[in-house]
Structure 1
């Protein structure tokens, strides 16, 4: 909505970037700079002098531009507009957070033209403290419940329409689902997404759907408790292994690598072939709603709150603990 509003103002510089937890390439400062520069260039292709110069400096595209070169390019592109709007979403998902915060301070210090910078993030102290002297205005969405609730209602309507299983339900049951989700969301998009996942799993059984609706959890922690409780006994040990590796992984893990993880037998110091998955994508079924597959083939925890949930205290999956 913000981007659409800015676009309606006419020929100005506009660049948007989202630090996507599911795409490691989109969680770096270099990825941010490259994307912002490209988007600003496409807003005004006639302003190509700086881009052409960088291309030549990089041996006609043979060499990769450095971070400083990309930063200099961004500055020059912004200077080419009377007014520029930059929106950066989910700062807290950047894996180079300190470097990113320093960059934002430098951009603020450029003071060139009318450059408007909007950033969004969860309210983490390191971010709040770093930007307190940079951001002239802070908007706390938790203090805007009406606006957030309206967005959640729109999200629920759209997702239910797109869901093949839930969209085919009779109108009264769909109405009940919408009303319950809207009433209990309490400002949490993530909570809604998890409940819809659970409802889709039993969309072919009205009785099971009713039961799931009657037991909607009050918060994310209880939601994750329920998800763990639904893991079938035959997959509980697999889930423990997978989630343990994902919670504590330093680098993203390929789905093929994780498929081998479930076969690891520590006691025998080898692989248990009986634990081999029919397909690596079975991982997504075993840990439904807790993990997600990225475009680059790596598997990650589906949301930052999932990692927080497991790090907060030991969790039970059947008789096993992670």
Structure 2
């Protein structure tokens, strides 16, 4: 009897598998990337060899009751070949025309991105991010055709769509961050922004550990449109064209960006920590409450 809270060994797992297999008339066991198999090393044996041996032993043992077939994939390996008769082995190669098509597609991607980016690394990156979401060559080619138009607007629209496709909380965070960074009266540090977004009308106390958004989430929620200066800790848009594009959206990100920022300020000032003696808060308090410095 195996001790509680311990992992079963391979023999125990195989014994359990045997019992399960008896409930079927035909079973196909598929082992992918057999040559990469990792497990308990046995003297003079590679891990995959031990597993294959157990599989074939099980196949022979249950042969009267269950038809067990073993399918394994592997890179070329002479030792693995010895376990399978030559007539049961199938060698698969990439077809030359498939390889040529892939190389051609890569060339077209490179050409289209370089032409559309017009020397701007930012646009090249945003276009690459867009292509990374495509699952079929057809979709990639359609995206490349679209790059030939207004490259800036298209890249930003695609990025906003990726923000929109995020989970609800990250989508809302991304929009708030972009609004604050775009419309704030002065550049904000990452800490100032996190504090500004941590409060609402119901917030009375600010817990520094539990109420602030994770810095990585603040940045990633914007899908590459913001960056943080390593020295000043100021969070800003990645390019001046980003500012122009976001401002051109008017109220698409939020119904009234300036009203939102104003509400952040008022909600922050209404924290219980400032009640009745706001004028007494100086430099030391502004380090604890960094958004207090905003003006």
Report if TM-score (shorter chain) is over 0.5. no
Indicate the structure with greater strand content. 1
Q: TM-score, normalised on structure 2?
A: 0.41
Q: Which has the larger radius of gyration?
A: 2
